[in-house]
Amino acid sequence: MNKHVTFDAQAALGFVRSQTTHVETAVNETVYPDIQYPGLVPVDTSAHPFAQTVTYYSSDKFGRADWINGNADDIPLAGTELAEFKTSVYTAAIGYGWGWEEVNVAMTIGRNLQADDALARQAGIACERGVLVDEYCRTSAPDVLAAGDVAVARPAGGGGPIRLESWQNAQDQGAAAALSALDAGQPYLPSGAVWSEQYEAMVQIAGFPARAGREVLRPQADARALLSVALDEDGRVIGAVAVNAARELRQLRQWIAQGTRVDPVQLARADAPLSSARIG
C-alpha cells in the first residue's frame, strides 16, 4: 500500500528555513549558584512516592562523668533516648503548557512551539512574547499586520495583552486582519473561544474565566454535564466553561460580548431558565 504525504507550501517553507538556519548553542546563558543542600542534608528516597507521611526516629546518647563523694547517692547516669517524628509528604511538579500531540506535530513540521517573533524584532516591530497588535491587527510598523498564534492583543473586557493559540482565534483574527488590509476593518477583540472533544465529553470555553472575580456553577440536568460561569467584580459575565452544555453556552457567549450583568443567585437555580438571570 502506497502512502502519499502532502505538505502545505507555507509549512514546508518554514521547515526548510528552520533547517538552513544556524543556531548558536548558547547565546546568553544565565548562571545560577549550585544547590548546596544535597551535600549537607541526607536525602532518602526509599519511601513509596505516594506515601502520605514519613515516620522516622531519632536517638541520642547522654551522660557525663562528674566528681562525687564516696557516700553520694546522686551519681550521674548515662543512657539513651528515642524520639518519634512524622513528616507529611507533598507533591511538586513543573512542566510545559503543551500537549503530547502538539509537541509531536511541532517536531514533524520543524516548528518551534514558542511564538517566533525574531524576524519582527529585527525589523524593529514592538514585541512582547509575540508581535503586539492593536484592535485592527496593526503592528507598530506602518502597513504591517499580524494575526494568529504570533499576535499579542488585548482581550474583550480589558486586561493585559495576551497571545492565544487556538484555531478559532486564528480564523477570526485572520479575517479581521484581511479587512484591515482592505481599509474596511472593524475593531477585533479576542473571544477566547476554544473547544475540545474528549471521548463523550464536549468541552467548550468562552471568554476568559481565569480573570473572574467570582465563579457560579449552574446545575445541569445531565449528570455528565457542567457549566461554570465566570463573573467580574460588577457581576458581568466574562467567561464560561461548559461540558456537554452547548445550548446554554451559546447564550452566555452573547452575554460575554455584550458585558451583560447577571444575578448570581438566579444563575445558580436549577429550576430557573438561564434568561431569568439577566439584569436589565
**Ramachandran bin of 157, using left for φ above 0, alpha for ψ from -120 to 50, beta for the remaining angles:** left
* CATH domain 117-181 topology: FAD/NAD(P)-binding domain (3.50.50)
DSSP assignment, residue 154? P
pLDDT at 263: 93
The pLDDT of residue 156 is: 56
Show the cell assigned to 238: 466574562
Indicate where the chain has its CATH 3.50.50.60 domain(s): 117-181
Task: Tell me if 85 sits within 8 A of 55, measured CB to CB.
Answer: yes
Check residue 39 and give its pLDDT.
Answer: 72
Residue-level pLDDT at 31: 66
Task: Classify burial at 111, counting beta carbons within 10 Å of its beta carbon; exposed 0-12, middle 13-18, buried 19 or more.
Answer: middle
Burial degree of 178 (CB within 10 A; 0-12, 13-18, 19+): middle
Question: For the chain, where do the domains classified as CATH 3.30.390.30 start and end?
Answer: 194-277
Question: 252, 159, 273: which is closest to 205 by C-alpha?
Answer: 252
Q: Which residue has the cell 517536531?
A: 107
**pLDDT score, position 37:** 66
| Fold category of 194-277 in CATH | Enolase-like; domain 1 (3.30.390)
Q: How does strand 162-163 pair with strand 226-231?
A: unpaired
What is the C-alpha to C-alpha distance for residues 117 and 132, in angstroms, rounded to an integer? 10
- The per-residue pLDDT for 20 is 52
- pLDDT tens string for the chain (280 positions)? 555 544 455 544 554 455 555 545 444 556 667 767 667 777 777 888 788 888 888 888 878 888 888 777 778 888 888 888 888 888 777 666 666 676 666 666 555 666 678 888 888 999 888 899 998 999 999 999 999 888 998 765 566 778 888 888 889 899 999 999 999 988 888 888 888 888 888 999 998 888 888 999 999 888 889 999 999 999 999 999 999 999 999 999 999 988 899 999 999 998 899 999 998 6
Q: Which three cell numbers stand for residue 159?
A: 486586561
194: Cβ contacts below 8 Å, ≥ 6 apart: 166, 168, 204, 205
Phi then psi for residue 198, to 5 deg, are -110, 95
pLDDT reported for residue 7: 44
82 pairs with which residues across the strands? 59
